Homo-oligomer: A and B are copies of this chain.
Amino acid sequence: MSISTCDLVLRNGTVIDPGLSPSPQAIDIGIEKGRISALAQTGNLPLLGSRVIDAAGLYVFPGLIDPHVHITNRVAGNMRGGFGLTSLAAIHGGTTTFFDFTTPHQPNELLSAIDRQLQNADGAVFSDFCLHAVLPAMELDDLWQIEQAIKRGFPSFKAFMLPSRGRSKVDDRLLFAALEACRLYGGLMGVHAENGRLVSHFSRKLLKEGKNGLRYFAASRPNICEAEAIQRALYVARTAGAPIYVYHVTSAEGAQAVRHARQQGLPVYGETCPHYLLFTDGVYSEERGFLFNRVPPIRSQRDQDALWEALADGTFSCVGTDDVATTLTHKRQPPPGPDFTDFPGGMAQVETRLALLHSEGVAKGRISLNRLVYLLTAGPARIFGLYPRKGTIAVGSDADLVLFDPNQEKTITSGELHDGTDYTVYEGWKVKGWPVMSLLRGQVIIDRGKLVNNAGQGQCCPRKIDPEIFKGPAA
């Protein structure tokens, strides 16, 4: 009798994958050639493996996906180093695939900006990754680039509805045209939804009243700035017949707009970020307020509550980190202009996402473990064309897995994180539960919190949006 054995078998773990089963399951996982090749009841039919890992007492999740990360050169000095450091932080935190964004400067650079960023990623990358193509300001004649990007496996985009550092504003004209192209060719447009003209109104009014400085930051971009833009984007998308993804929703009104559209059966998908869930705008009055500068701003307790509710009730589909790695020196440099919006923005948090949402969300009863795992795995995987290759523990899927020890207690401190920065906004936060092992396509990369495979062979994943995503709220 000759039978083949698996390359690797993960035994005795407790599998949490809401797509697989509503309840935790004792299942052994067989892995071969980087994919899950077999699933078998623990203790019944022992899968044979060249290597066997005992996951007793641990949760096994599908490898996490972060749909919203910005690779920077600020810490490592260049983008290549940025990919290395951020992916190292990601894989330590259980995130086996993240999405970065391109930076086209000219109308005709949509495709070349993808190439440029792929070149930036040609060093050691410790997790898999994908790229959202940022939409430059362009004319109808340039729209063919959207079709090409989709055909080349980059079917997700981002439009900044107001000018943002290095990215030009996508006005309603281009937004509509690009959405039409997305409908036609199978793309998914996402938006940074803020109304720049309203931001300008509130900012100028405050400055006129002598109210400058970070403590007025949230007031300078009140909820309507975001909510109006979200409503407009949803309406434009609806008319164009295209699905739409809303990055970093921060306001109760924004969440309600997404909920309402989904209740009408529209293909609308929303995301929020950890800082909107874990802080309130009170931080802008603290001394360390400058660390939290990021648009849209962190808002009130009422908004925070509404965001948790939108995660729990199915309104939102993802939690992205909007991770931006930077240093204290960089954050402290004086703002270039007189305006409270000019502080350098962003914070690194891809590594702490899972543990914090578990401790602050699941352990505090704001969200079920099942739902959290969905938001970090199948949610983004379905929307962005990675499912079922990633985002679930199914036979045939990539063997991206994270083992989570629900009992490990830890105090978060910058020195123990791997993003290369010299601070964390979560300094001193206590969590219970931490990811202890990460597998990427069958390779153990992190084991008991240590990097055990430094090959850095993370790949860019080609994608195709599932037609279901176009029909209605399918994730």
Contacts and interface: CB of A to CB of B under 8 A. Distances in A.
A49 B306 CA distance: 52
A35 B41 CA distance: 9
Contact of A3 (B48, B140, B232, B235): B48
Interface in A405-424: none
Interface stretch (A113-121, A194-202, A213-221, A339-347): A194-202
Interface string A198-226: 10110011001000000000000000100
A47 B38 contact: yes
A394 B21 contact: yes
Nearest to A26: B396
A381 to B, nearest CB: 11
A206 to B, nearest CB: 11
Contact of A394 (B1, B25, B195, B396): B25
A308 B381 CA distance: 29
A428 interface: no
A41 B38 contact: yes
Interface in A1-53: 1, 3-4, 6, 19-23, 25-27, 30, 32-33, 35-41, 44-48
Interface string A167-180: 00001111011000
Nearest to A253: B239
B231 A313 contact: no
A178 to B, nearest CB: 10
Nearest to A223: B239
Which residue, of A35, A47, A172, A236, has the highest number of chain B Cβ atoms within 10 A?
A172
Contacts of A33: 44
Which residue, of A4, A140, A227, has the highest number of chain B Cβ atoms within 10 A?
A140
* Range class of the A interface residue count: 35 or more
Interface string A157-174: 000000000000001111
A137 to B, nearest CB: 12
Main secondary structure of the interface of A (DSSP, over half): mixed
Interface in A211-263: 224, 227-228, 231-232, 235-236, 239, 263
Given A20-B20, A140-B208, A235-B231, A395 B40 contact: yes
A48 B48 CA distance: 12
B20 A32 contact: no
B38 A40 contact: yes
A13 to B, nearest CB: 12
A468 interface: yes
Given A3-B48, A37-B40, 7 more contacts: A4-B46, A21-B396, A37-B41, A39-B395, A172-B198, A173-B197, A174-B201
Interface of A: 1, 3-4, 6, 19-23, 25-27, 30, 32-33, 35-41, 44-48, 139-141, 171-174, 176-177, 195, 197-198, 200-201, 204-205, 208, 224, 227-228, 231-232, 235-236, 239, 263, 265, 313, 382, 387-388, 392, 394-396, 466, 468, 472
30 contacts: A3-B3, A3-B46, A6-B45, A19-B20, A21-B388, A21-B392, A22-B382, A22-B387, A22-B466, A25-B394, A30-B40, A32-B44, A35-B41, A37-B41, A38-B38, A38-B40, A40-B395, A41-B395, A140-B208, A141-B208, A172-B195, A172-B197, A172-B198, A172-B228, A176-B201, A177-B205, A228-B235, A231-B231, A231-B232, A265-B313
